[in-house]
Amino acid sequence: MGQGPQFRVHDPSTKRSVWVGLNERNAELDVLVKQHGRDDDTLTIEHRGTIHTLPIRKAKVVSGGPVPTGLPPPMPAPANVAPAVTQSVVVNPSPADEATRLQAVAAEVARRRALREQAQTTVNQAQSPSPPPPMQSR
C-alpha cells in the first residue's frame, strides 16, 4: 500500500473488495485509481481499460443514543424479605458474620412458616362446615 488516501473499491460481480491508493494499480481486480474528486465526492478509476467515474458512498452512521455514565442504581430489596437477611450479606464473611447471617435466615424461615400456618388455619376454619340449624318441632 502506498502513501496517502486509500479507497475501497468493490466489484459487485465477483463480490470482492480491495483497498487501492491514488495512482495505484491492483492486479486482483485489475483496477487503477486515477483521480479523487473532492468537491463532488467521486472517484475516477480505470477498470480493464475502461475509465469509470464512481460516486463515493456516504457512511450511514446512526447514533445509538447517549452512552450511560456510571453504574445503574442498586436494585431495591424485595418487599417480602426481612432486612436482616439482605443486609447481613458480606463479601468475605468472618465466622461470626456467617453465624449472624445464618441466624437471620433461620429467623426469617421461622417467620414465614408461622405466617403459612396462620394462613392455613384461617382457611381451614373458613372451610369447616357449620353445624346444621336446629330442627323445629311442630
Residues 49 and 10 in one domain: yes
- Does some domain include residue 70? no
Predicted confidence pLDDT, tens digits, the chain (138 residues): 557 888 888 888 889 999 999 888 888 888 999 988 888 889 899 988 899 998 888 878 877 778 777 777 777 766 666 666 666 666 888 898 888 888 989 999 999 999 999 988 887 777 766 666 666 665
Question: What pLDDT is attached to residue 75?
Answer: 73
Closest CA to 29 of 4, 61, 5, 54: 54
8 Å CB contact between 3 and 15: no
Question: What pLDDT is attached to residue 59?
Answer: 78
- Does some domain include residue 19? yes
- Does some domain include residue 51? yes
8 Å CB contact between 84 and 108: yes
Question: What pLDDT is attached to residue 109?
Answer: 93
- Does some domain include residue 72? no
- Structural domain boundaries enclosing 25: 6-55
- Does some domain include residue 69? no
Residues 50 and 87 in one domain: no
8 Å CB contact between 21 and 35: no
- Does some domain include residue 131? no
8 Å CB contact between 5 and 21: yes
Question: What pLDDT is attached to residue 117?
Answer: 92
Residues 88 and 50 in one domain: no
Residues 46 and 87 in one domain: no
Provide the domain count of the chain: 2
- Does some domain include residue 32? yes
- Does some domain include residue 76? no
Residue indicated by cell numbers 318441632: 137
Residues 10 and 49 in one domain: yes
| Domain finish residue from 37, 55, 73 | 55
Closest CA to 16 of 29, 33, 32, 30: 29
